[in-house]
Amino acid sequence: MLPEDISDLHCYIEAAWAKLKGNPIRIPHQEHRQLHMTMYRRLENPFVIGQLTSYWDAYEAVGLNVFTGYDYLEKVWQYHE
């Protein structure tokens, strides 16, 4: 990863916490997707990028981007920090 990638990751984490601590609370789904896509974007490996894209598309298709427990989200973002 390049320094700008790491900077982007920090921005996604900050934005996610802002959504989780906001009023009303919002699910930081786009930040989560972008965080993972950013980690692997420089691989230039179509298989890996395709797998990640498919995973996040399926995640959205079943509604996990809309209905997720708050405790789970806190753990996810604590881990990503």
69 pLDDT band, cuts 50/70/90, is: confident
77 pLDDT band, cuts 50/70/90, is: very high
Total domains, the chain: 1
pLDDT tens per residue, range 23-43: 999 999 999 999 999 999 999
Structural domain boundaries, residue 49: 3-80
Average model confidence (pLDDT) for the chain? 94
The CA distance from 19 to 17, in Å, is 5
The CA distance from 3 to 51, in Å, is 25
Question: What pLDDT, on a 0 to 100 scale, did the predictor assign at position 48?
Answer: 94
Residue 44 phi/psi, 5-degree rounding, is 55, 40
The CA distance from 72 to 12, in Å, is 17
Question: What pLDDT, on a 0 to 100 scale, did the predictor assign at position 56?
Answer: 95
Model pTM?
0.87
